[in-house]
Structure 1
Amino acid sequence: MTLAYGNMPLDRGTNQRKNKRWLAAEFTREDTLFCVINDGQCLFNKEEVLSPIYLSKSQVPTVNVDSCIYLGKGDLGLQSLDNNTLDTSTAGNSNIHQPSAISIFAIDFNKLRFSTQEALSEMGQWQGLRKVTANLSAIDASILALAKGLVHWHISHQFCGQCGHANRSVEAGHARRCSDCRNMSFPRTDPAVIMLVEKMFSDGIPRCLLGRQASWVEGMYSTLAGFVDPGETLEQAVIREVVEETAIHVENPQYIASQPWPFPASVMLGFTAVATSEKIDISQDDLEDARWFSREQLVNFGVNSSVIAGEDSADNPQYKLSSGDSISSYLITAWKNKEIGQY
């Protein structure tokens, strides 16, 4: 199973993007593309087969290079600017020097002129990325996730955390410099651990520990998760979070996989862990419920495709997993299929 948002085909050009002449040349190339982020939403076509809309420079004529964010350059397949989409079916990891490599920039919708904003809204439809990820190629989802994350970071870091003066975008949108004290800020990513906790019960049946919050769609359960505290290892965070949320003690945390999670700015670090206790207590945390599930029970779970829309699914059984784009769904499915874990 491939984790969403982690299939980045772009070479981010860490050294090249600091060269203003190189960046200006990429910005003005005819084949350079732009994706626009509007209040966290991405622009898609209105066709039955959903595709993100990538714009040419002529479609955003008033933007300048300093107001854009350089995402990177890659061999993205054949361009199809007639309908403003890309054929990413043959795209793959590439190097920035390949002749066929295309540069992509991200733009904050609010930096566009009103006439351009109107034209874009008529051209396509704005959708939240998580709501449509299942319909996108892995590459498109990864590019849009990067764009969304960086645009959000710029919006939320407009002022210097040291002196309070305005920050300015520098280094092709990958840093912000204070206009007064010159303090530099860089995009932050908050590490969070997410863990599939398992235990072999006295009846000889292994079970995993899942929980739910009251705000979630009825019947939806997920793996436990939490942010890493300062001064602790990832393994320590796994142990602490599980006992804080459920009073279950665990040992032997084992790293499985990671996933970019720009909602708004995290990286999810997936683990398994073995429980050494059984009795759940959620009275000290914000979980509405937590319980043990066997593999047989998980087989009857529905995958909740309407979590993001906040709607229930009529064809679901009693319980359901979170949206399939999450590493939580990956961990649960992998454990159910005996691909991870000790039992």
Structure 2
Amino acid sequence: MLTIPASRPNAYTGSPLDRVSDRRDDADFVAAALASKESLIAPVWRSKSLLRGVEEGAPEAVLLTREAAEAVLMAGGHDQSTWALLGLNGGTPVFAVDCSAAEDPLPLLPEGMGAFHDLRAVAGLLPPGEASMLAHARGLMHWRTRHRFCGVCGHTCEPRSAGNAMACTNCNAQHFPRTDPAVIMLVVNGDECLLGHSTRFPNSAMYSTLAGFVEPGESLEEAVRREVKEETGVTVGACQYHSSQPWPFPASIMLGFHAEALSREVTIDPAELRDARWFTREEIRNPEAAGFLLPRVDSIARRLIEDWLEHAP
């Protein structure tokens, strides 16, 4: 099978942060970082990130100073249930703060701070480091809001490790942020690739790579072959790893592959797909002329397709 290297980093990678995992339990270090006037804060409001320049087509992340974020911190109760240390950016502490308790957090911020937006709508236009930090903040805050109670005994949990872990107040069970592994694969056969239109796609014209979660006791390659077989009936042989992408929407890591098809007949699973079919390279290069759309530019699905095009034999 042709080896297709990753041409460039995926969106949401390339974080500039030192996550200082060895210092998260140092109470003095964390307290000093939280109190520092140099600290920066990435607010998250109901899964949205603070951005400016979106309407102008030049989005940028807005990280608040401690002073600018004070009203937001107070609205959230100013306790450890609302914040987490993301890491150090060149020595500057960076925190995530969940300000979802505020009905509208913008009036609590200084003027000109932008607005809260869905990160996925603009990530392809953000500098890699900014997109990565905002994705980190969003993913961690999403996990925190959904793990307030212990999965072992049902009692309440409290933050630990500067907000990067939760501990049960009753049985002392430790809970850590979870990331669900999912394989995503471009199935190829000669000069064609297999794309599907998912029942979950909001855009009726978009076709994308196949994908699915890895199941317990399953290798990544086995997951690739199973998912393709289940969704399209196509048998896959060789699988070549391409790259990975954090996808905190809400909590996944996408593991990208190119996979070689051993059969061509397509029989879709209607619960998963509305359609799936083979596309030539020429159709992929001119999707609008062929009557379909490719996946969003910030997705690893798009990268798998583009790199396959660039490495035509």
C-alpha contact 1:225 1:241 (8 A) present in aligned 2: yes
Match of 1:212 in 2: 197
Task: Choose the corresponding residue for 1:264, options 234, 250, 257.
Answer: 250
Change (3 A) 1:144 1:251: same
Match of 1:59 in 2: 68
For the pair 1:281 / 2:270, whether they are aligned, the reply is no
For the pair 1:21 / 2:28, whether they are aligned, the reply is yes
Partners in 2 of 1:58 and 1:285 — Cα distance?
A: 50
| 1:64 to partner: Cα distance | 4.4
C-alpha contact 1:245 1:287 (8 A) present in aligned 2: yes
For the pair 1:36 / 2:43, whether they are aligned, the reply is yes
Match of 1:335 in 2: 308
Letter in 1 for 2:107: E
Q: Identify the range of structure 1 (114-123 vs 225-234) with the bigger mean alpha-carbon deviation.
A: 114-123
Unaligned 5+ residue runs, structure 1? 76-100, 201-205, 303-315
Q: Which string of whole-angstrom CA distances, capped at 9 and with x for unpartnered residues, describes residues 275-296 of structure 1?
A: 1111000046420000001111
Partners in 2 of 1:115 and 1:329 — Cα distance?
A: 35
Alignment of 1:83-232 (within 5 A): 101-110=91-100, 118-120=107-109, 123-200=113-190, 206-216=191-201, 217-232=203-218
Q: Percent identity?
A: 41
Q: Identify the range of structure 1 (206-215 vs 291-300) with the bigger mean alpha-carbon deviation.
A: 206-215
C-alpha contact 1:258 1:270 (8 A) present in aligned 2: yes
Partners in 2 of 1:35 and 1:154 — Cα distance?
A: 15
RMSD of aligned Cα (Å): 2.0
TM-score after normalising by structure 1? 0.82
TM-score after normalising by structure 2? 0.89
Match of 2:222 in 1: 236
- Residue 331 of structure 1 aligns to a residue whose secondary structure is helix
C-alpha contact 2:80 2:163 (8 A) present in aligned 1: no
Partners in 2 of 1:213 and 1:277 — Cα distance?
A: 21
Partners in 2 of 1:282 and 1:193 — Cα distance?
A: 18
Letter in 2 for 1:118: P
For the pair 1:323 / 2:296, whether they are aligned, the reply is yes
Q: Which string of whole-angstrom CA distances, capped at 9 and with x for unpartnered residues, describes residues 46-104 of structure 1?
A: 573322221111123333456311001122xxxxxxxxxxxxxxxxxxxxxxxxx2110
Q: Which string of whole-angstrom CA distances, capped at 9 and with x for unpartnered residues, describes residues 202-261 of structure 1?
A: xxxx21110011342121010000000000100100010000000000011111101101
Q: Which string of whole-angstrom CA distances, capped at 9 and with x for unpartnered residues, describes residues 261-280 of structure 1?
A: 10100000001111111100
Q: How many residues are aligned here? A: 296
Change (3 A) 1:65 1:167: closer
C-alpha contact 2:82 2:99 (8 A) present in aligned 1: no
Partners in 2 of 1:225 and 1:52 — Cα distance?
A: 29
| 1:110 to partner: Cα distance | 2.9
Partners in 1 of 2:47 and 2:213 — Cα distance?
A: 22
Letter in 2 for 1:232: E
Letter in 2 for 1:335: W
Match of 2:89 in 1: 74
C-alpha contact 1:239 1:251 (8 A) present in aligned 2: yes
- Residue 221 of structure 1 aligns to a residue whose secondary structure is coil
